[in-house]
């Protein structure tokens, strides 16, 4: 695989972010859904921090500095198969220094975490202990840690339910439905990064918040995210500069 990646013909598949409209539709449907709204705190944190799914599922209450509105990212919760053993959860630490970082809490993220804590005072806290780590924030109905597969399955259910509702509305209103595309929890990280790039010009800050080891990763997302803005900027420049 390493040799293939080094070849000139191999290109890493691009992960596309949700548009603002798609993001809004996804969040709004989840918020209003009695069946799925319990997933909203997790989606809020994913969309509001840009953390990797393993970093957010491995987040503990002690990693959150509420008085200073800071989230400390210093480990990852993984779920994988080792040799011939059954799959199980484990904790890994970042391979590079860029993986250890702080992410400021947006007010919506802070509110979602605060509400989740209050809810768990009633329903119970996460009881899982993984490699000596405990006190994980996000949990299953059985008060255990979640796997990325579980989150992706929930996203799939929400997309199907949301699109089915949209098709009903579109049919009644005699218009084309605006459907959500298929996406995974990893797209939520990319979506945050895109929104961040649309509003922040300092690439070093974006790189540090996202935990990118290579600045080129940040630059690639930044260039794609700001492509439309560049076109708008040049449209406004038309006829204002004498070039011939």
Quick check: is 14 catalytic?
no
Task: Name the catalytic one among 139, 187, 189, 190.
Answer: 189
Task: Name the catalytic one among 52, 101, 139, 190.
Answer: 52
Quick check: is 187 catalytic?
no
DSSP 206-229: HHHHHT-SSHHHHHHHHHHHTHHH
Quick check: is 222 catalytic?
yes
Task: Name the catalytic one among 110, 187, 195, 212.
Answer: 212
Quick check: is 189 catalytic?
yes
H or E, element range at 188: helix 185-199
Quick check: is 117 catalytic?
no
- Residues 6 or more apart from 15 whose CB is under 8 A from it? 186, 187, 190
What is the C-alpha to C-alpha distance for residues 29 and 37, in angstroms, rounded to an integer? 8
Task: Name the catalytic one among 101, 133, 190, 222.
Answer: 222
Q: How many CB atoms lie within 10 A of CB 84?
A: 5
| Long-range contacts of the stretch 151-157 (C-beta < 8 A, 24+) | 151/39, 151/42, 151/53, 151/57, 151/185, 152/184, 152/185, 154/36, 154/39, 155/183, 155/184, 155/185, 156/182, 157/36
What is the C-alpha to C-alpha distance for residues 43 and 55, in angstroms, rounded to an integer? 13
In the chain, helix, strand, coil percent, each to 5?
55, 10, 35
Strands (DSSP E) along 1-147, which ranges? 64-65, 70-73, 76-80, 88-92, 101-104
Quick check: is 212 catalytic?
yes
Task: Name the catalytic one among 12, 95, 141, 240.
Answer: 95
Active-site residues, by number, are 52, 95, 186, 189, 212, 222
């Amino acid at each position: 695989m390493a040799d293939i990646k080094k070849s000139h013909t191999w290109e890493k598949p691009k992960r596309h972010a949700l548009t603002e409209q798609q993001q809004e539709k996804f969040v709004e449907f989840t918020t209003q859904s009695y069946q799925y709204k319990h997933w909203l705190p997790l989606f809020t944190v994913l969309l509001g921090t840009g953390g990797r799914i393993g970093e957010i599922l491995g987040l503990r209450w002690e990693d959150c500095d509420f008085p200073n509105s800071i989230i400390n990212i210093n480990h990852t919760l993984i779920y994988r198969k080792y040799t011939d053993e059954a799959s199980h959860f484990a904790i890994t630490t970042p391979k590079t220094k860029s993986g250890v970082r702080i992410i400021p809490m947006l007010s919506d993220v802070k509110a979602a975490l605060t509400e989740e804590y209050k809810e768990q005072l009633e329903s119970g806290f996460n009881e899982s202990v993984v490699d000596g780590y405990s006190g994980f924030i996000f949990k299953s109905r059985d008060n255990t840690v979640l796997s990325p597969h579980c989150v992706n399955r929930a996203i799939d259910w929400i997309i199907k339910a949301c699109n089915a509702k949209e098709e009903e509305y579109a049919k009644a209103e005699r218009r084309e439905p605006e459907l959500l595309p298929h996406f995974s929890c990893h797209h939520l990280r990319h979506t945050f990064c895109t929104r961040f790039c649309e509003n922040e010009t300092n690439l070093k800050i974006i790189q540090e918040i996202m935990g990118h080891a290579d600045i080129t990763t940040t630059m690639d997302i930044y260039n794609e995210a700001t492509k439309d803005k560049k076109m708008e900027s040049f449209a406004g420049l038309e006829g204002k500069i004498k070039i011939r």
